[in-house]
Amino acid sequence: MKKLLTDRFYLSLTLLVIVYTVGFVTVLLGYVESLMLLTPYNLLFASGLLIYNAEGFDRRYGSWLLIVMLAGFFVEVLGIETGLIFGTYNYGDGLGLKWLGVPLMIGVNWGVLVFGTAALIQHFRLARWVKAAIAATLMVSYDILLEPVAIRFDFWSWADGTIPYQNYLAWWIISFGMLLGAFYLVKNLRNRLAIYVIGIQTLFFVVLILDQNLSIR
């Protein structure tokens, strides 16, 4: 118990497991609609835990994280205004407060995913661009599972209900650039909680896809 209260990793992991266990049980009991109303708060909670466990967090790390969040947000603004980046889409009300038509949590999510996947790959002895490519591929895989859930619960919607392939290509290219910057500019990306946050979120998407009988397109 003392270790749980004094060790940030064990405390964070315990909180993460408790919150998502409640989420899994709520879905299985049939209250998924009510649960998904809490999505913005859940994302903020998981994001806070991930940043809290960033071992190399310093001014450079924080600055690059902020740049990634802002860049991710404004890329999405350009995306919905022009339709030229990801395709033609619009955000619904499922992700909470919006500015310029984009939920504020989207910027936070870009930062957390970039630094979370970077933490998963940073141990491998590979060229930085190779690690960035692998991590970007992981992010696209994450998005493939997220898409049907996002559409179902009004996070966003696509024109004609079709997800264009350019969405995934744009995700990869943008993610690659952000990740490459992280690998070059941040000295220590180690984060023991990253694999658990990304892993449990991915599992949650799979559970929702099965529970709601959604299809991956």
pLDDT digits (tens, 9 = 90+) for 132-142: 999 999 999 99
Q: How far apart are CA 197 and CA 68, in angstroms?
A: 19
State residue 162's pLDDT score.
Answer: 86
Share of the chain above pLDDT 70, in %: 97
SS3 115: helix
SS3 175: helix
Closest Cα partner for 104 from 94, 95, 112, 113?
Answer: 95
Structure tokens at 19: 């919150």
- pLDDT tens column, 6-35: 688 889 999 999 999 999 999 988 889 888
Q: How far apart are CA 70 and CA 213, in angstroms?
A: 34
Specify the pTM.
Answer: 0.89
State residue 89's pLDDT score.
Answer: 93
Residue 66 above 80 pLDDT?
A: yes
Phi, psi for 88 (deg, rounded to 5): -90, 115
Confidence at 115, pLDDT banded by 50, 70, 90:
very high
Whether 111 and 125 have beta carbons less than 8 Å apart is answered as no
Region 83-108 average pLDDT:
91
Q: How far apart are CA 209 and CA 2, in angstroms?
A: 38
- CB neighbour class for 124 (10 Å; exposed up to 12, middle 13-18, buried from 19): exposed
State residue 215's pLDDT score.
Answer: 80
Q: How far apart are CA 42 and CA 159, in angstroms?
A: 28
Whether 148 and 215 have beta carbons less than 8 Å apart is answered as yes
Region 93-111 average pLDDT:
91
Q: How far apart are CA 36 and CA 174, in angstroms?
A: 28
Region 154-171 average pLDDT:
90
- pLDDT tens column, 139-159: 999 999 999 999 998 899 998
Structure tokens at 179: 């990740």
Q: Distance between the two ends of the chain, CA-based, in angstroms?
A: 45
Residue 216 above 90 pLDDT?
A: no
